[in-house]
Amino acid sequence: MKTMTKILTASSLAVAGFAVAPAMAQVQGNMGVVDAASVVASTNAFATASQQVGTTYKPQIDSIQARGQEQQTLLKQLDKNNDGQLDEAEQKAAQGSSQAQRIQQIEQEVAQLTNQIDMARVYSIQQILQQYPAAVQQVVQQLNIQVVLSPDSVVYAPPQANINQQVVAALNTKVPSVQIVPPQDWQPNRNAVALYQEIQQLLMVAQARAAQQQSAQQNNAAPSGR
């Protein structure tokens, strides 16, 4: 089975078939703008699958955390000057040591465990993605849309041109739930892997914004000194 690392490296292509080329100036009729990553990440099936992955793969998640702590302990043993990093001399001295060998082993183990979790997430996304074109087509027919664009293709569009929520609603009906445990020897397609990368980026941005807002609220709530 391919590892997710190899698949992610090979998946620099955009989600083929879901990014429409910019519309010609002479096109008449309603226009729709839809973002596949935002849509899939907003579906009920994706939300439920994410929770299930956290439960089903909890042993792997716990093992990754435990190995991370072990790795930090080993690195501290190699950090002779206690400056929080390994300089060139410390790295040279660590070569061949039992700590260095164990760190390398930990990295391999973590990669294997992470791969299992990533494959489960991509598997859930791929099942939703299979119904994405049909969901878009359903919304296109309902709203009599003549042109559908991805956000990257749009310089300006009125807010009502965004059809993300309508496509999410269609997908919630078409794909109410998905499986998270891939069949043996299952291989993800590149579209699903590329979309997984985009969704991960969206989630990271959302988490960063939430952290900033929380920090700002705490700073505003803190009493000011005289």
Is the model more confident about 208 or about 225? Answer: 208
The pLDDT value given to residue 5: 53
Query: Stretch 160-187: mean pLDDT, rounded?
Result: 96
Query: Stretch 4-14: mean pLDDT, rounded?
Result: 45
Identify whether 48 is part of a domain.
yes
Identify whether 64 is part of a domain.
yes
Asked if residue 6 has pLDDT above 60, the reply is no
Q: What is the pLDDT of residues 51-66, one digit of tens each?
A: 999 999 999 999 999 9
Asked if residue 157 has pLDDT above 70, the reply is yes
Identify whether 226 is part of a domain.
no
The CA distance from 219 to 216, in Å, is 5
The pLDDT value given to residue 4: 54
**Containing structural domain, residue 110:** 4-13+29-218
Q: Is the dihedral of CA 218, 219, 225, 226 positive or negative?
A: negative
Identify whether 115 is part of a domain.
yes
Counted domains in the chain: 1
Identify whether 163 is part of a domain.
yes
Is the model more confident about 225 or about 67? Answer: 67
Asked if residue 24 has pLDDT above 50, the reply is no
Question: Could you tell me how many helices (H) and strands (E) the chain has, helices first?
Answer: 9, 2
The pLDDT value given to residue 22: 44
- Residue 224: pLDDT band (50, 70, 90) is low
The CA distance from 94 to 73, in Å, is 14
* Interior/surface letters 181-192, b for 16+ CB within 10 angstroms, e for the rest: ebeeeeebebbb
Identify whether 18 is part of a domain.
no
Q: Where are the beta strands (DSSP E) in 107-172?
A: 145-149
Identify whether 22 is part of a domain.
no
The pLDDT value given to residue 129: 97
Identify whether 19 is part of a domain.
no
Q: Which residues contact 19 (CB under 8 A, 6 or more apart)?
A: 36, 150, 152, 153
The pLDDT value given to residue 10: 45
- Residue 37: pLDDT band (50, 70, 90) is very high
Q: What is the pLDDT of residues 93-138, one digit of tens each?
A: 999 999 999 999 999 999 999 999 999 999 999 999 999 999 999 9
The pLDDT value given to residue 30: 86
